Amino acid sequence: MKLIYPACFYPCEETKGAYTVEVPDLPGCVTQGDSLADAILMATDAASGWVLDELEDGKAAPAPSKMSDVAPKEGGFVNLIVLDMDGYAAKYGNKAVRKNLTIPAWLNARAEARNINFSQVLQEALEERIGS
């Protein structure tokens, strides 16, 4: 699912070339970047995370405002940001995915006798191996 939201960009007074970004349709979604390109990337990431949290909580993504309806504060400008929610969710989402595995029968029997949760053990082992 692709979503497009207007975002308000404001030059930072403290850091030359940096921008602060607000996404009006996503309350509290504010970020900044060291350059305009970085600010666009950071806004896309922040907005994607905001929307993903809503989707994982069973809520719908907020409808985007029309760009013409968004009025930035003095000194700012509006730019559209594009969110690739499928790609973002695949990389950062908490939705469980089903995996099949093959283990020796003796190991399966011993683990089941101890009521071991295979999914939990696999997840913990992968997180340890990957370093998450």
For residues 76 and 103, membership in a common domain is answered with no
In a shared domain, residues 24 and 48: yes
Give the structural domain span for 128: 96-132
Q: How many domains does the chain have?
A: 2
Q: How many angstroms separate the CA atoms of 13 and 131, rounded?
A: 38
Q: In terms of domains, do 105 and 73 share one?
A: no
pLDDT in tens, 44-57: 999 999 999 999 99
* Percent of the chain's residues with pLDDT above 90: 78
108 and 84, same domain (yes or no) = no
CA 7 to chain centre: 16
Total-model pTM:
0.74
User: How far is residue 38's CA from residue 81's CA, in Å, rounded to a whole number?
Assistant: 12
Clarify whether residues 64 and 42 are in a common domain: yes
Q: Is the dihedral of CA 47, 53, 55, 59 positive or negative?
A: negative
